[in-house]
Amino acid sequence: MSPYPVNLELSGQPVLVVGAGMVAARKVAGLLDAAAQVTVVAPSAVDEIRENRKAQWLARPYQQGEVADYRLAITATNDPAVNALVRADGDQANIFVNSADDPANCSFTLPAVARNGDLQITISTAGRSPGLARWLRQQLTTQISVGYSELLDLLEETRTQTRAAFGTSEIAGWDEALNDGLLELVKQNRINEARERLRHHLGLRAHEVPT
């Protein structure tokens, strides 16, 4: 069985984090980056959570059934019984639950993510080796550190022009263009040359490109 990969749109959505140690703090930071409304439940908390004005901390233990008030839940505790309770409550309420370093109590796993601006590459081992996923993330983060963000800007710009010219951007030529040295041109700051090469492969003539 293979996990089904998705990117969740969590902007404005209520998310529960059970536990308030350093692992939980990292989870909270990632959820806040996604603009989620984060509530943390734990009797005590590290400074990173106590002093975080963007997340709500409830200084008490998890209460059975409360996960049903959220769209998503993450547990980061040292107590397998709490993890199991949150997972059971989540299953009953049809709420997906992730439990840090506790695959048996996960209904979804969190991939490692290499980022450069809006470009994201996720790495998953289906929960078998988070260490390998982290190592691969480090390798990929280094590889996409130069030129990829600018290339993404160029591709987005040209995609908009392609839709205007043809009514769709789902046309032939994208792979051929990317295999024809676009990234190298962008890295050399030869953006106009890269743009013209991309338009050539897509069949965008000058009069078809909106000004």
Average pLDDT over residues 182-209: 89
pLDDT digits (tens, 9 = 90+) for 46-60: 999 999 999 999 999
Euclidean distance between CA atoms 35 and 14, whole angstroms: 10
pLDDT digits (tens, 9 = 90+) for 75-88: 999 899 999 999 99
Across 88-92, 106-110, 154-158, least confident range: 106-110
pLDDT confidence bin for 208, thresholds 50/70/90: low
Q: pLDDT at residue 207 above 90?
A: no
pLDDT confidence bin for 147, thresholds 50/70/90: very high
pLDDT digits (tens, 9 = 90+) for 6-17: 999 999 999 999
Average pLDDT over residues 168-177: 96
pTM score, two decimals? Answer: 0.81
Q: pLDDT at residue 206 above 60?
A: no
Across 39-53, 118-132, 153-167, 183-197, least confident range: 118-132
